[in-house]
């Protein structure tokens, strides 16, 4: 876990004990990122804070103490917030919850002129929280009813520079110098998956491993239930990597589509970990890892980033976010700043060892579009595509469970048909 910021660092950010209440509030107020163009969320929140400021001004000047003007302002703000939630679910929900549960300034929005009791303040916060939860549930049910089953769409092949003849020859010049076939294993964890999808995923990986002479490892015995299942991929690699030169970890929903491509064609002699990059940064659904001492140290460092489990933001795929933090990604550096943790001073070393690979050469994230609204919060994808000829396609947690099972079965059947030996 990275060290927390010192008091001086927090004061510099307007978050420390030396800062005023207003400064701390302003520093934390936008700790949750708002999607580009989400002006309604900003406007709604500004309306709420404006109502608070206006109420204080009237109290200082001895003006009107009636509830009517303030309630009308707050009502307008809540109506705008509700409209905002209908179109930009996740950010507005987080803002609403923070206003209800975390920001004490929310209490001042409808504060009575007389002294307010602790019980009354708690009741008011509870009502606001229930309103936010009701909005979340309403939008979720609307999206659930309107959701249509996804089908995997095949799109024309893309040019994969990673497998260009010149690039391939350059990488393999040093790899082949030893003239020894590397020992390679494919590892996976097949838990928490529907039985038919489990069988299809297993057969797909068995066929590919048999075709190229790789070992296949089902590492269900290493699962640590104290964390989300995705974390256990680190334990699987750590246990089995000492017996091989390379281990390719593939998630259960990752299907090998082009079995003519070899794992050796991805390698180069300069990097230790190979990951694909998608719209969310480095992706750990499929990882190709070399057996060397630094890798085991790095795996322990990723496992040790427990702060991502308790971050103020709602982080999906915590183990991937932990790796991205050590890699020094901009988004995770900002998350660390907001949570009071120092950035990784060894990020430059990680960048030298970790190789981002084109998705066509390692693993393509099938989810290409997210439904607008709160369904992103639960992980619903509205479009799944696969570019002809790419190596692996995987279906991440943004697909609802039924879609992920259906897409895994469809991709496995497609791979079997296309890679059938004559």
Could you report the per-residue pLDDT of 245-256, keeping only the tens digit for each? 999 999 999 999
- Return the pLDDT at 85: 47
Terminal-residue alpha carbon distance, the chain: 53
3-state secondary structure of 283: strand
- Return the pLDDT at 30: 38
Average pLDDT (312-327) is 88
Half-sphere exposure at residue 352, Cβ-oriented, CA atoms within 13 angstroms: 5
Average pLDDT (86-98) is 47
Q: Residue 68 — very low, low, confident or very high, per pLDDT cuts 50/70/90?
A: low
Q: Give the integer Cα–Cα distance in Å for 30 and 13.
A: 13
Each residue's pLDDT tens digit, 144-176: 555 567 889 999 988 888 887 777 777 766 655
318 pLDDT more than 80: yes
Question: Quick one: what percent of the chain has pLDDT higher than 70?
Answer: 62
Question: Among 56-60, 203-207, 232-236, 245-249, which is the least confidently predicted range?
Answer: 56-60
Q: Residue 190 — very low, low, confident or very high, per pLDDT cuts 50/70/90?
A: very high
- Return the pLDDT at 77: 53
Q: Give the integer Cα–Cα distance in Å for 208 and 72.
A: 65
Tokens standing for residue 78: 């809540």
Tokens standing for residue 101: 């549960």
169 Cβ contact partners less than 8 Å away, ≥ 6 residues apart: none
344 pLDDT more than 80: yes
Residue 276, beta-bridge partner list? 283, 357
Query: Which one is predicted more confidently, 5 or 219?
Result: 219
Q: Residue 74 — very low, low, confident or very high, per pLDDT cuts 50/70/90?
A: low
Average pLDDT (24-36) is 41
Question: Among 68-82, 172-186, 324-338, 358-372, which is the least confidently predicted range?
Answer: 68-82
- Return the pLDDT at 144: 54
Query: Which one is predicted more confidently, 23 or 220?
Result: 220
Query: Which one is predicted more confidently, 415 or 143?
Result: 415
Q: Residue 263 — very low, low, confident or very high, per pLDDT cuts 50/70/90?
A: very high
22 pLDDT more than 90: no
Query: What are the structural domains, with CATH classification, of the chain?
Result: 31-146 (no CATH), 152-418 (3.90.550.10)
- Return the pLDDT at 383: 84
330 pLDDT more than 60: yes
- Return the pLDDT at 109: 43
3-state secondary structure of 119: helix
For residue 229, give the nearest of 193, 187, 254 by alpha carbon: 193
- Return the pLDDT at 303: 97
Average pLDDT, the chain: 76
Q: Are strands 392-394 and 364-365 parallel, antiparallel or unpaired?
A: parallel
Would you report the helix, strand and coil content of the chain in percent, each value rounded to 5? 55, 15, 30
String of DSSP letters for 372-395: SSTHHHHT-EEEEEEETT-SEEE-
Query: Which one is predicted more confidently, 43 or 165?
Result: 165
- Return the pLDDT at 381: 79
């Amino acid at each position: 876990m990275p060290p927390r910021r010192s008091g001086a660092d927090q004061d510099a950010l307007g978050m420390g004990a030396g800062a005023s209440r207003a400064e701390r509030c302003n520093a934390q107020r936008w700790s949750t990122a708002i999607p580009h163009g989400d002006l309604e969320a900003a406007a709604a929140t500004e309306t709420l804070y404006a109502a608070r400021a206006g109420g204080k001004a009237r109290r200082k000047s001895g003006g009107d103490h009636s509830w009517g003007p303030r309630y009308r302002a707050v009502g307008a703000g809540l109506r705008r917030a509700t409209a905002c939630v209908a179109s930009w679910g996740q950010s507005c929900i987080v803002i609403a919850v923070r206003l209800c549960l975390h920001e004490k300034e929310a209490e001042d929005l409808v504060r009575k002129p007389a002294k307010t009791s602790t019980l009354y303040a708690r009741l008011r916060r509870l009502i606001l929280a229930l309103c936010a939860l009701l909005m979340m549930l309403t939008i979720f049910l609307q999206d659930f009813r309107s959701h249509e089953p996804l089908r995997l769409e095949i799109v024309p092949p893309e040019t994969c520079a990673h497998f260009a003849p010149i690039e391939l020859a350059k990488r393999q010049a040093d790899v082949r110098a030893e003239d020894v076939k590397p020992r390679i294993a494919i590892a996976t964890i097949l838990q928490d998956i529907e039985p038919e999808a489990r069988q299809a995923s297993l057969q797909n990986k068995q066929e590919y491993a048999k075709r190229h002479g790789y070992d296949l490892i089902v590492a269900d015995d290493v699962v640590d239930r104290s964390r989300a299942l995705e974390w256990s991929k680190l334990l699987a690699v750590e246990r089995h990597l000492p017996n091989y030169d390379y281990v390719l970890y593939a998630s259960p929903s990752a299907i090998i589509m082009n079995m003519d491509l070899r794992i050796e064609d991805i390698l180069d002699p300069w990097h230790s970990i190979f990951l694909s990059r998608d719209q969310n940064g480095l992706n750990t659904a499929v990882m190709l890892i070399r057996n060397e001492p630094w890798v085991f140290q790095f795996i322990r460092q990723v496992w040790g980033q427990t702060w991502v489990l308790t971050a103020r933001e709602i982080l999906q795929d915590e183990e991937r976010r932990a790796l991205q933090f050590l890699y020094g990604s901009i988004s995770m550096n900002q998350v660390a700043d907001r949570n009071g943790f120092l950035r990784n001073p060894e990020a430059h070393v990680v960048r030298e060892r970790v190789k981002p690979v084109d998705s066509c050469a390692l693993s393509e994230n099938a989810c290409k579009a997210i439904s607008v609204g709160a369904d992103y919060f639960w992980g619903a994808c509205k479009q799944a595509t696969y570019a002809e000829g790419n190596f692996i396609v995987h279906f991440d947690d943004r697909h609802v469970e039924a879609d992920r099972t259906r897409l895994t079965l469809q991709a496995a059947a497609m791979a079997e048909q296309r890679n059938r030996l004559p």
